[in-house]
Amino acid sequence: MKQGCIGDETLFDRNAMSDPTASFLFALTNAGSERALKAEVAAAGRGWRPSFQRRGFVTFKCPVDDEPFTEEALGAAELAFSRRVCLSLGKAESEEAALALAPAGARVHRLIWDGKRLVRAEGEASEPAMGEGIVTLVAFSPEEIWVGFHRHRPGLSPDPGGMAGLEMPPESPSRAWLKLEEAARFFGLHFSREDIAVELGCAPGGVILALLRRGVSVIGVDPARLAPVVMASAVTERPEGPGDPPWVYHCRKPAALVGKRDLGTRVTWFLSDMNQSPAVALKECGRCIRMCPSIRSALITLKLTDLAEAADRDLWFGELRAMGFRTMRLQQLAVHHHEMALLATDRRA
């Protein structure tokens, strides 16, 4: 397959593989989020008609019978409750038959049913080039394999089914490590040793551990204690700049009591994983972000009591715009339960 290069991104020649069309598409979601996904699609007014469903897997029929879905149409299908949307090319009773339904030369991603949910198969390559065609095989059993197709594009997870397949290290003090690492893979986030991050609701320190191992110094805000593995990098006074090795400064205060002196003037990343409602969490996040003009990006974990609360997305985006952010995205990640990742970037100076 011919390849070309634009800037730093390798692009596949789109003419080297014809794109199929399909009367159906399928979307991959977290088990238990199927209703929320269908509600999101309905609210968007796409006209997609829900059809077949399994846990974590929902198919939709095209709005007009003689106007099938195209791969280009998937580019506009950014859904908070779906990690991947594919043209549905049908299902087969063996992998050989499934591959026969797919465009020749496409990369193959495999997902398998483990009895409770879909998981990515071991050994999958997960760094497709921009524009590369990808076939997703979803195996509910060896005799029931669904075949999907999409092209990789900016803003799309490179991993099979949008799942990084991460395993939390045994020394991590919490699942928050998984949330940060999964988000970094899914969104393509970049951190450097020049960054200083602040995290609200940081205890016991899963996100801090992930950031420290990426070379990022962290100001952790939480009245609760941090785990010893995190405190091994602790400093007693907040430095003015990033460190090598990176440091962690524990600000043992509730978020509502944090002031400018606690945060300094060099914070570039803002993170939050507070056990508060979205409204309360965003209020506290906004107060802290406005104290730090140097913040450029934010990753906020929102806790939902009901997934239907995600219908407030436009309200949340409006609050982020008022903080100066220009690009926002809401996404439920594979490691989330009743949670959503709210990413905001490109903040104005």
The domain limits of the chain are 3-162, 176-345
Mean of pLDDT values over 262-277: 96
- Closest CA relative to residue 33, chosen from 79, 73, 88, 74: 79
- Judge whether residue 302 has pLDDT over 80: yes
CATH topology of domain 3-162: VC0802-like (3.30.2130)
- Tokens 């990033």, residue? 242
For strand 107-113 and strand 133-141, is the pairing parallel, antiparallel, or unpaired? parallel
- Judge whether residue 196 has pLDDT over 60: yes
pLDDT above 90 as % of the chain? 86
Mean of pLDDT values over 103-117: 93
- Name the band, by pLDDT with cuts 50, 70 and 90, for residue 12: very low
Measure the CA–CA gap between 239 and 248, rounded to whole angstroms. Answer: 9
Q: Report CA Rg, the chain.
A: 21
Lowest pLDDT segment from 72-86, 104-118, 233-247, 286-300:
72-86
Any long-range contacts for 60-64 (C-beta under 8 Å, 24+ apart)? 60/24, 60/25, 60/26, 60/27, 61/23, 61/24, 62/22, 62/23, 62/24, 62/25
- Judge whether residue 22 has pLDDT over 80: yes
Measure the CA–CA gap between 24 and 44, rounded to whole angstroms. Answer: 18
Mean of pLDDT values over 280-287: 96
Measure the CA–CA gap between 18 and 50, rounded to whole angstroms. Answer: 27
The domain 176-345 belongs to what CATH superfamily?
Answer: Vaccinia Virus protein VP39 (3.40.50.150)
- Name the band, by pLDDT with cuts 50, 70 and 90, for residue 169: very high
> Are the C-beta atoms of residues 308 and 39 closer than 8 Å to each other?
yes
- Tokens 């998981």, residue? 119
